[in-house]
Structure 1
Amino acid sequence: MSDLQISLVIIGVVVIVGVILFNKIQLARYHRRIQEGFRHDHDDVLLDVEHVSVATGERIEPQFGDETLASADDELVHNADSEHILTELPSDDDQVVQDEEVSEERVNEVIVVDDAIHYVVDIRSDSLIPHEKLVDLLQQKFDYGKPVRWYGLGSKSAWEEISLDTIDSQSDYVQLKGGLQLVDRSGLVTEINLSRFRDMVEEFASQLGAEANCPDIVDAYARAIDLDKFCAEVDILVGVNIISKDGGAFVGTKIRALAEASGFRLESEGVFRYRDDETNEVLFSLGNFESAPFLPSNMRTLTTHGITFLLDVPRVARGEKVFDQMIHIAKLFSSTLNGILVDDNRVPLSENGMRKSRQRLIDIQAAMIAYDITAGGEAALKLFN
């Protein structure tokens, strides 16, 4: 073995011994720290309840020493005579009564069907409504020209919306509420359909020996006329178009790439939609300025001379903020596509023009609030559908 090999062996042995010694020193230090951690030179607040101190603002659980318990006994005996603070634990029978009361409270919860936009009827039965009768009733929900919604109260359950998809042969409903919507975007319900709906409900209740409460048809139709007139006044779309500055065309692949990068999704109706992350409701959309829809199958070959951003005013909450967001994205598109923002007549949009559109949107949504219909709310989404 050469001198070099011997030197390397010696160095290796020294290194190994050094590592072993280092590990032993570290282990000894670790054990010493553990022992010090368990050496109690101070009071333990968990083991010694007689010397517990509480820092201001901290939460603690109650601690009871012998003296505390004794004084508490005296005070509670006194209070039991004067203020009835102490009560006996409920017996099993008492607990059953309490459970029944809770169940009754749950059964008596009131379901609110918005009579501002519905003709609301009520059916009360002394016995369970037969499943086959319920099926017959629900099968007629599309027979009156406007949406019909039914809600049921079970004998031991709370109110719930019901449909053919949700009921089964074990359903135990004893009360029903139905709402025939008065207005949607296609217009108002006819007086004839209101009468037909009322007559159907009364006949249904009669067959069950149940009680039916149906409001006056003339009053309901008058409300429908007023509601339809108001909805027509506020049913507005705010639109912004982008066309090419030089009269050229935009290619579908670039439009799609920009849209998806901005958060739009291409949906089945041939438009891109920008949806709220929490509610999934549409905030605004992006469509073709020309007649051809945007479809996955044609975006590679499609060309167009313009695109359109649309905001459905009554269906969007906080409209001015959504408008600002839409305009911001439209400007990004315009810059990237070398386009220009124009109105429906291809007249360039100025900042002043966009401010006027924004203010009109604010005025419309304020008018809706004054009419007790909030833009983007549940009632608005039903009316403007």
Structure 2
Amino acid sequence: MAISELQLALIGVGAAAVAGVWGYNKWQERKHRQLAERILRGGGQTDVLLDATAAPKGVGATGDDAVIDSTQRVEPVFPPETEVEPLAADASDSPWADPLADGVGRLEFVEAVAAPALWAAQAEWAGHLAKPLNWVAQVGGEWRRLTAHDAGRYTVFLAAQQLADRRGAVSETELTVFAEGVRHLAAQLGGVATVPEVGTMLEQARALDEFCAGVDVQLSINIADPGGTAFAGTKLRGLAEAAGMKLDDDGRYHACDEQGETLYTLGNLGVELFEADSLGSLATHGVTLTLDVPNVGQGARVFDRMVVTARQFAQGLGGVLVDAQRAPLTDAMIAGIRAKIEEIQVRMEARQIVAGSARAHRLFS
């Protein structure tokens, strides 16, 4: 049967369409291959968060002359406490994508991606994560933490899944959701993602949580009347205000530093919280001053200040310093508490978690 001119035209159009699709796919393949090769070669701007050559001396090294292979990712190491070499407290310039506290995935794109598009894409799976997830974007030589309201466009992002906090270590399920979500997001927006193995992140999270649990201590000094007489709320308020403490929404008075960070707190030993409206009628048989050791820098000095405040309260209220069993607190016992604070904070610093630092605040929250 003879082929009509119309059939010949349709065949020609079909062949052209097939060739066009084939050409477009080859172009996309070449673009992504070039991007992947550039990332694997370590080309472009140095990533101070993930670049192995930027790791502090001692991380992954076996001696003074150890050489770090710059083509390999170096994960944080948790050696036995007796073998830890003190390292710099902050290995990165962004506390929101911290290789010690977070599992960090890197996403890179040829063309800049709008932050709202990334934010919408990650919302599909980020809601399944119980631990905090932070996003930062590279702007020149710095990293900017992203929020839902960021309208910028960026080519390099870091996704940081927090590995531990006071609730414990991140779960394997969460890490799987995080790793698969980051890879899917990169593919969805036309980029390439590099994410640590789930097993590696899980091992790091559990080691980190185990260490943090061992130093997560809150030390208190209690004040009570030896005869069992109650303290009046109005008297407590006057003493707290005279000491420069402020009543917070958590029902405790806070002593703060110049930046507004809490140094120690004053709370009720009874069940009632301190509230401005009810302090006038409050009567309590004891109060407690508490120092959150991992979250306060220079803990021994702050403890000394807290002891001075406790003695001022005891004198003003007619009470005495007592321990948790309401036994009198001696000078030797106070010295022992101070030594314990110093010991804990030295151990923390050896693990690159300086008490009172941004890293410590995240892990002990």
CA contact (8 A) 2:122 2:185 kept: no
Distance in 2 (alpha carbons) for counterparts of 1:276 and 1:142? 35
Following superposition, the deviation at residue 221 of structure 1 comes to 0.4
Residue identity in the other structure for 1:261: A
Match among 188, 210, 213 for residue 194 of structure 2: 213
C-alpha spacing 1:303/1:376, structure 2 compared with 1 (3 Å): same
1:344 aligns with 2:329: no
Question: For residues 208-247 of structure 1, what are the structure 2 equivalents within 5 Å?
Answer: 208-247=189-228
Larger radius of gyration: 1
Cα pair 2:253 2:266 within 8 Å, conserved: yes
| Counterpart position of 2:161 | 180
When residues 286 and 138 of structure 1 are mapped into structure 2, their CA distance, relative to the original with a 3 A threshold, is: farther
The Cα shift of 1:222 comes to 0.6
Q: Is the 8 Å Cα contact of residues 138 and 164 (structure 1) preserved in structure 2? A: no
Aligned: 1:151 with 2:136? yes
Given that residues 110 and 159 in structure 1 are in contact (C-alpha distance below 8 angstroms), is that contact kept between their aligned partners in structure 2?
no
Shift, 1:369, TM fit: 1.0
Q: How far is the alpha carbon of 1:164 from its aligned partner?
A: 0.7
**Quick one: structure 1 residues 343 and 164, their matched pair in 2 at CA, closer, same or farther if it must change by over 3 Å?**
same
Structure-1 residue corresponding to 2:237: 256
Match of 1:196 in 2: 177
Structure 1 residue 384 displacement after superposition: 0.3
Write the distance in 2 (CA, Å) between the matches of 1:143 and 1:314: 29
Q: Is the 8 A contact 2:243 2:309 kept in 1?
A: yes
Q: Give the one of 102, 114, 127 matched to 2:111.
A: 127
Work out the CA distance in 2 between the residues paired with 1:176 and 1:247. Answer: 60
- Name the structure 2 match of 1:331: 311
1:116-153 residue CA offsets vs partner (Å, 9 max, x unmatched): 11000000000121444222145455531111111012
Partners in 1 of 2:121 and 2:224 — Cα distance?
53
Shift, 1:341, TM fit: 0.5
- Alpha carbons of 1:109 and 1:218: their partners in 2 closer, same or farther (altered >3 Å)? closer
Q: 1:191 to 1:109 in 2, by over 3 A?
A: closer
Letter in 2 for 1:220: M
> Which residue number corresponds to residue 296 of structure 1?
276
Separation (CA, whole Å) in 2 of partners of 1:162 and 1:305:
48
Which residue is equivalent to 2:341?
361
Q: One-letter code of the match for 1:298?
A: S
Q: Are the counterparts in 2 of residues 341 and 348 from structure 1 also a CA contact under 8 Å?
A: yes
* Structure 1 counterpart of 2:26: none
In the alignment, structure 2 segments of 5+ residues that lack a partner are 1-44, 50-91
The AA in structure 2 aligned to 1:231 is C
- Write the deviation string for residues 61-108 of structure 1: whole angstroms up to 9, x where unpaired: xxxxxxxxxxxxxxxxxxxxxxxxxxxxxxxxxxxxxxxxxxxxxx76
Helix, strand or coil for the counterpart of 2:228?
Answer: coil
CA distance 1:158–1:314, change in 2 (3 Å):
closer
Q: Distance in 1 between matches of 2:141 and 2:120?
A: 22
Superposed CA RMSD: 1.7
TM-score of the superposed pair, with normalisation by structure 1: 0.69
Amino acid at match of 1:115: P
What are the within-5 Å matches in structure 2 for residues 155-170 of structure 1? 158-165=142-149, 167-168=150-151
SS in 1 for 2:336: helix
Judge conservation of contact 2:116–2:148 (CA < 8 Å) in 1. no
Q: Distance in 1 between matches of 2:293 and 2:141?
A: 39
Question: Structure 1 residues 162, 280: closer, same or farther in 2, change over 3 A?
Answer: same
Local SS of the residue matching 2:187: helix
- State the distance in 2 between where 1:269 and 1:152 align: 34
Question: Which is richer in helix?
Answer: 1
1:159 positional shift: 2.5
Q: Partners of 1:142 and 1:306 in 2: how far apart?
A: 43
Quick one: which of 88, 94, 99 aligns to 1:115? Answer: 99
Distance in 2 between residues matched to 1:224 and 1:331, nearest whole Å: 41
Q: Tell me, what secondary structure is at the counterpart of 2:237?
A: helix
Q: TM-score if structure 2 supplies the norm length?
A: 0.72
